[in-house]
Structure 1
Amino acid sequence: MNPYLKRAYELQEEITENRRYIHSHAGVGFDLDDTVERIMSQLRAMGIEGERCGKAGVVVTLGKPGKTILLRGDIDALPIPEQTNLPFASKNGCMHACGHDFHAAMLLGAAKLLKENESALPGTVKLMFQPAEEKLAGARDMVENGVLENPHVDAAFAMHIGTGNSESPVGSVKFTKGPSHASGDSFRIIVQGKGCHGASSYQGVDAISVAAHILIALEEIPAREVPADQLSIVTVGVFQGGSACNIIADTATLEGTIRALSPENREFLIRRVREVAESIAKAFRATIRVEEPTGGTPPSYNNPALCEEMLPFIKEIVPEDKVFVRENQPSLGSEDFAYVSTKVPSMMINLGAGSTEEGYTYALHSPFVTPDEGCLPVGAALYAHCATRWLEENQ
């Protein structure tokens, strides 16, 4: 057995305890005081001094001068009331329903593995404990606060657990080369019409009707204006308007998300959402205000050369029959690891934490999801081993 993997299994109880503590003290966005304190205290117990980076990030630097590889684990939860009935369930209205408690615990496990072998590292490993992934804001905050510099990062590696589908058996790995995750941008459109009595609708401008025409038109943009082989989505998830059944509504609100796999399509879709909404509103004698977020994230990209380089290292930890390489099968989910992958050669893998065939029927973001903790030592070993092997091959 690989030495890192063997040691990770010896540390399984400790890694699991960290996961459960972080899970039961879930925080959202940058509001992660309990989580950050746990990470810092565990690092100190290992003889490691973590450094704060940005609003709530933590950075660890290990090894010696030379090439530098970054390992990223996100640490924030979702504003979802937990319904798992686990003995360590969160009770504060927030839940680690996306598995970031796993990522944080595995990266802590990797920190210990790497610290125990620090003298043999042929370069530098940076550990990036990142907040606010769910808000698509934490990676950008840490990049802007220097996480990729001093020393400069030459390559980056991240992972995300998966469960509740047929492709996530415990301890398996899958990834796709090239575009891996879509961009993510949200929008809010406020339609201003003119209210009147429903019996005299000709005297008003029906904001609900205008918003309905906008909704249909927006969701047709990807189908009619983007090539079919360039996956993209415009989705409206919120539609609000009206106050009574016999009143023509004077205002209505649409909120939605835009996903694209290239910077060019991202820019095109953001522009077309505004243009289409404004044109339809004008045609129906309404006005609109389009609010776009200051955040969002570009598409995330798995560097093909780095994927090829990392693949044999992954197979030294995970049996070959549990490693699945995908070609041109990106996710239209978004990942703010993109703020790293647009700067340095990067790779993100998916670590299996329970398939439907193994009895895990709830997917991530469900209030009932309970990923399998058996993947924790595998993830910790993958982090540490892939970093070490990459440094060995890139001295």
Structure 2
Amino acid sequence: MSVDAIDRVIKNAIDVMENSKYQLFEICESVRAERDALNNELQQVIDEATKTIDTVDRFEVEYRRSRIRLTEVSRDFKRFNEEDIRLAYEAATQLQAQLAIYREKELHLKARRDDLQKRLKNVDKQLERAETLVSQLNVVLEYLSGDLNQVTRVLESAKNRQLLGLKIILAQEEERKRIAREIHDGLAQTMANVVLRTEITERMLAKQAYNAVKEELSDLKGQVRGGIEEVRKIIFNLRPMALDDLGLVPTLRKFVQDYEEKTKIRTKFEVIGKEMRLPSGMEVAVYRLVQEAFSNVMKHANASHVALELTFQQQMVKATITDNGGGFIVDNIDKKIGQGSHYGLMGMRERVELLEGRMELQSTVGAGTKLSMVIPVKESKEE
């Protein structure tokens, strides 16, 4: 294929992607406008709900007083006549009706608030997907807009490695989006709810509704604990601190246990040989490779059991992941990896090769898959 033909293909691809990018920009702006409108409406509903709650509290106090007044008037016939009783009864009835109306309004506003929060969450997800597509297009456009001679050399000499580099960039963007989404959907929502309920609790304290305050504080404590747990999960996913403190084996054991609880796939972890600490970078690499392999099992294998076998020898460490899933034809997967597909397996193979190791894949349709990664361990200069 000539350079001119490649140039035309790339330019046409760039034009199509530029047009698509602008369309996605318009979609993003439309979704942002909808999100802003929902945010404003939600704030109005929250403000109105707050006022309604105050009104309900006030009517409840007045209604209790009117009931006490009616009781007093009904019992003391010497001081009060039938007209007094009638007026007290009408006042109590009117307050009761108003209280019922505002209670109904309070329920309606709370339901409306919950609905708006759900819609806002869906809109945020749509915006996040659109922004992800824009980010991916920008990466591809930047890649394709470079020097044509360089692109030609890439196509001729190092296609797979460059595609992997592109995939790594995209993966980094996806990871940033995922972290932002986890914080927004989890911790940020929890903190916003804590602030709102704290304000309600302050008003309850002013009215000396101590039992309600106690219940509210108990719920708040549970929400804060949930927020702390979310933060710990995010931190662990970014960098398991147990790797530095305890080493590879305890960290993998915890990962396997969490994996089983999350996916309901039965797991088994076995260590062969004398456990030893590896260089910090190598422990992280092995952990990420196992993490990626288990993720592939969850996404593609349709397995009910997965086993991890970690073998330590004097000059190498071997990780073997076996599942009882549907399996596949290895030759077909190898061809797709060579053509730039299956970035997960390609990325794993590249990382193993960067560590001067080797990766072997064995699978049979209907009989599961076995993935082995052997990584040499060199003596640390620091030791």
Q: Name the TM-score class by shorter chain.
A: under 0.3
Structure scoring higher RCO (CA < 8 A, sep ≥ 6) equals 1
TM-score, normalised with respect to structure 1: 0.26
- Higher Cα Rg, which structure: 2
Bigger strand share:
1
TM-score, normalised with respect to structure 2: 0.26
